[in-house]
Amino acid sequence: MLPSRTVAILSPEAIAAASRSADKLSLQNLQSKMKCDPESYEAELELIYKQFESSLELFQQQAALSFTSLSGIGADPTVAKDLGERAMFLAHMTQFYPKHLSDFPKQLADLLRTTAKSLPSSLRCQIAQAVILLINRKILAIGEMLALFMELQTLGDRMLKKLAYSHVVRFIQQMNKKHKDEAKNKPLQNVLFQMLQREEESIAKRSLVTLCDLHRRKVWSDDRTVNAICMACFHPSSRIMIAALSFLLDFEKIQDDDDSDASSSEDEATTPQPHVVLSREEVYKVTCALLYGGVLLDEQSLYNPGHLA
């Protein structure tokens, strides 16, 4: 006889769902069936959502035990695997079951935001991929997740760093593909500009690398971005300062080179690149910005330096 608590959890719909899944459909096969006929598989969805929440609770309990245990007991990798698989499954299903999974996107984002440092690398990347999927489908907004994805790049996880960085650049690039919308760009720029001003070298570096790459790709080639990179020349970290100066001062020598959309590694963005294009006017603005305290000049001051006297 099942314990009374278990009987209370298993509703008739859940039992029916388990019965219909007796053929042991893989999550991938079940996902395909649910996409074709969402209404017929609501019970299965609810069951898998409960499994996700149970796996999450169990994982958190094991993580807490591991943290407090003197014997160093680690979390069961099977639980982490189940949690990651169900998180990705539900991310794929969210657009088909918006009412049933209305809380799931925030739940997933909060999980990554609060526990990213303690998650195993494979699970951390899986949760990040699920969040990326929700952003791609416009269920989560890039503006809400940008700061988190920048922070993820500083955790020392090379795979996660590459994943988070490449998708931040791609999100912003896609957003500006047809036309540049300042109303959408400005809040994102502000997030990166503020991070660039922080004293922590790791997060400032990731912001600088991202801004330089977006400028190189001609996605953000406006004065605000140039000025932000220029201000990095006054950063407390000598590494950030040298990287910003190297990026800015080498433009004039390579301005006539052909531009390319070919991808480059994020670390290369802080060193002189043969594909960066910046006009002489922009170089002059940067130089003047350095000379006049990091403030970009307007057009009148640019061509009439005496106007500043």
What tens-digit pLDDT sequence spans the chain (309 residues)?
A: 444 444 445 554 554 455 444 334 588 889 999 999 999 999 999 999 999 999 999 888 887 776 533 333 345 678 888 999 999 999 999 999 999 999 999 999 999 999 999 899 999 999 999 999 999 999 999 999 999 999 999 999 999 999 999 999 999 999 999 888 889 999 999 999 999 999 999 999 999 999 999 999 999 999 999 999 999 999 999 999 989 988 888 754 433 333 433 344 444 444 444 444 445 555 555 555 554 554 444 434 433 433 333
Q: CA nearest 211: which of 227, 237, 232, 229?
A: 229
pLDDT for 128: 97
Long-range contacts of 61-69 (CB under 8 A, 24+ apart): 63/115, 63/118, 67/118
- CA of residue 46 relative to chain centroid, distance: 28
Tokens of 286: 């940067």
Cα separation, 89 vs 94, in Å, equals 9
pLDDT for 290: 55
Tokens of 23: 């053929």
Do the beta carbons of residue 295 and residue 233 sit within 8 Å?
no
3-state secondary structure 221-269: CCHHHHHHHHHHHHCCCHHHHHHHHHHHHCHHHHCCCCCCCCCCCHHHH
Cα separation, 283 vs 21, in Å, equals 65
Other C-beta atoms within 10 Å of 226: how many?
22
Cα separation, 149 vs 113, in Å, equals 9
Tokens of 233: 């020349």
pLDDT for 165: 97
pLDDT for 19: 43
**Collapsed DSSP state (helix, strand, coil) of residue 6:** helix
Do the beta carbons of residue 273 and residue 257 sit within 8 Å?
no
Radius of gyration of the chain (CA): 25
pLDDT for 245: 87
pLDDT for 50: 95
